[in-house]
Amino acid sequence: MTTITTQQPPAAEAPSPGATVLERLSVGAETSARRRRWFSPRNLLRAALPLGALLAWHVLSETGVIPALYFPSPVTVFEALGELVRSGELQAAVPTSLARAVTGLGIGLAIGLVFGVANGLVRISEEIFDSSFQIVRQVPFIAMVPLFIIWFGIGESFKVIVISLACVFPIYINTYHGVRHVDPRLVEAAQVFGLSRLRTIVTVVLPAALPQILVGLRMSMGVSLLALIVAEQVNSRNGIGHIIFVATGALRIDIIAGAILIYALLGVVVDMIMRFLERRLLPWK
């Protein structure tokens, strides 16, 4: 986690040897502004708690308050991660796990968005589908894992389906409520100007519901990592879950803790992606 919060931003493009003084000053000012943004009080405050937790973990481990037999120190965990990097296991596992998470997330988002918009706009669609969504939503996706194993086996399809099911409902609920609560006067104004129903949806309804949709997207992205952890505990032959499975059999608690940190780091990356999207899509917030 510390890498994310203290990482230097990419350097601005260096001016060519023939650049004017003003061009050189502009590049220097841009680089300086980026550095100030990365090390702003707000970002430093965000990094304070994770760094403090890491420091407390190290101190408690070194003083023996946390027995190394049950939970190793951060130094030992980072050494285990270095071992995985040197062997190439981590570089092979992370893309595999990300591919599963992204595939399941994409399927879940597509289903949730389509039905969220349809049920929010069309009364007959809501009456047919919404009650079924609400019933299935109340069932924890973890409880469906044994049935999915029986139905779909323990291969990749099972893992993608578990992640998809977990991601559908956050985006569906938020899209549905976002669309339903669009100001009717905006729709009436679009009709006055002669916009077709499709153009009204694309240019009025969806932009007005976008803040709520982004909330659902943030929640679905977070849930996709949770579902990934659950799915990879079942017969994983590759990915981060496979590393945890092998480490459990070898009683390598340091590797298990390191893999958990990788999951946490992916969560931080997801949060950074969502903050970037919100800044670009909702500049007024």
The enclosing H or E element of 236 equals none
Percent composition of the chain: helix, strand, coil (DSSP 3-state, to 5): 80, 0, 20
Tens of pLDDT along 85-117?
998 888 888 899 899 999 999 999 999 999 999
The enclosing H or E element of 282 equals none
Which segment of 6-20, 35-49, 219-233 scores lowest on mean pLDDT?
Answer: 6-20
Is the CB of residue 107 less than 8 Å from the CB of residue 160? yes
Domain extents in the chain? 2-66, 86-281
Q: Which CATH class is domain 86-281?
A: mainly alpha
pLDDT above 90 covers a percentage of the chain that reads 18
Cα dihedral sign, 279-281-284-285: negative
Measured CA distances, 3 to 59, 75, 242, 269, 276 (Å)? 20, 15, 24, 11, 18
Q: Give CA 235 to chain center in angstroms.
A: 24
Tens of pLDDT along 23-55?
554 545 555 555 556 566 766 677 777 788 888
Please tell me the predicted confidence (pLDDT) of residue 5. Answer: 38
The more confidently predicted of residues 12 and 139 is 139
Please tell me the predicted confidence (pLDDT) of residue 31. Answer: 56
The more confidently predicted of residues 45 and 148 is 148
DSSP 24-39: HHHHHHHHHHHHHHHT
Is the CB of residue 261 less than 8 Å from the CB of residue 77? yes
Is residue 168's pLDDT more than 90?
A: yes
Please tell me the predicted confidence (pLDDT) of residue 177. Answer: 92
Please tell me the predicted confidence (pLDDT) of residue 10. Answer: 46
Tens of pLDDT along 234-285?
877 888 888 888 888 888 888 988 888 898 888 888 888 888 888 888 776 6
Please tell me the predicted confidence (pLDDT) of residue 182. Answer: 86
Task: Compute the distance between CA of residue 173 and CA of residue 119 in angstroms, rounded to an integer.
Answer: 10
How many Cβ atoms are within 10 Å of 45's Cβ, its own excluded? Answer: 9
For residues 210-214, average pLDDT:
91
